[in-house]
Amino acid sequence: MEEFDALEVIARTKGKVEMDNVPTGQKLFPMWGWLTAVTYLLEFVLWQVFHGEWCLWLWIAIPLVGLPLMYIIIHRDHERTHIRTHESRLVLDYWIFAACVFGAGGFLFGFLGVYEVAENPLICLLIGIGAFITGEVVRFRPMIVGGLAGSGLGVVSFILQGDLWIYQILCIVVVAVVSLIIPGYLFENSLKHGI
């Protein structure tokens, strides 16, 4: 093999890999979005009806349902593409980190009984930042905008303290719609139509 062939082999192979690099995980955004929005909406309604602290533990349904679904979606994607890119790993690592913070924070704030102070705005921020990072990685503007809007709403929801704290839960519902559901479907649609 000639030396210039070797460089060509490297360049050509990298080019082919780039061509095979199809985005994956597009079903994850709507899945997490719907799960989050429905769960927190239910939490809000139940709180209005019963005013029991048990209503605020409904969030546990999100990881219990979402994690197995996420595993199935990722596994199917991997079976289809046979590859994992650095970008998809970075995005997945962030969402795993966010899920850990969400879970740990949920238990910590829940047991300390201070969930009304920072837990819900923190969830909004984690979702918003995650959507922003994912949007930057997959270069999809609606996701970037949705992420920024979600993060902004997260900051705003810090203001909802005292008697208004329960509306922080509605902020999470809105963030789930703005940062996950809408950009998720738009992204899926753009891939289908090759935009």
Partner 1 sequence: MEFKDLDPILHNELRLKVMAALDSLADADFVYLKKLTKATAGNLSVQITKLEEAGYIKVSRSGEGRGSHTVCRITPAGISALKRYQHALLSYFSR
Residues that bind partner 1 (CB under 8 A): 1, 3-7, 9-10, 13-14, 16-18, 20, 81-86, 88-89
Q: Which of 30, 20, 38, 21 lies closest to 86, judged by CA?
A: 21
For partner 1, which is the closer residue by CB, 85 or 190?
85
For partner 1, which is the closer residue by CB, 17 or 112?
17
Question: How many whole angstroms from its chain centre is CA 31?
Answer: 9
Q: Which of 3, 13, 29 lies closest to 181, judged by CA?
A: 29
Q: For the CA atoms of 92, 173, 64, 80, what is the dihedral angle to 10 degrees?
A: -40
- Supply the minimum distance, in Å, between the C-beta of residue 15 and partner 1: 9
- Supply the minimum distance, in Å, between the C-beta of residue 20 and partner 1: 7
Instruction: Scan for tokens 């509605």, then name that residue.
Output: 170
What is the rounded distance in angstroms from the CA atom of residue 48 to the CA atom of residue 34?
A: 21
- Supply the minimum distance, in Å, between the C-beta of residue 94 and partner 1: 14
Q: Which two tokens stand for residue 54?
A: 């048990």
The maximal CA–CA distance of the chain, rounded, in angstroms, is: 77
- Supply the minimum distance, in Å, between the C-beta of residue 79 and partner 1: 9
For partner 1, which is the closer residue by CB, 20 or 53?
20
For partner 1, which is the closer residue by CB, 17 or 114?
17
For partner 1, which is the closer residue by CB, 6 or 112?
6
For partner 1, which is the closer residue by CB, 17 or 64?
17
- Supply the minimum distance, in Å, between the C-beta of residue 77 and partner 1: 13
- Supply the minimum distance, in Å, between the C-beta of residue 2 and partner 1: 10
Cβ–Cβ under 8 Å, residues 75 and 63: no
What is the rounded distance in angstroms from the CA atom of residue 181 to the CA atom of residue 8?
A: 43
- The identity of residue 61, as a single letter, is A
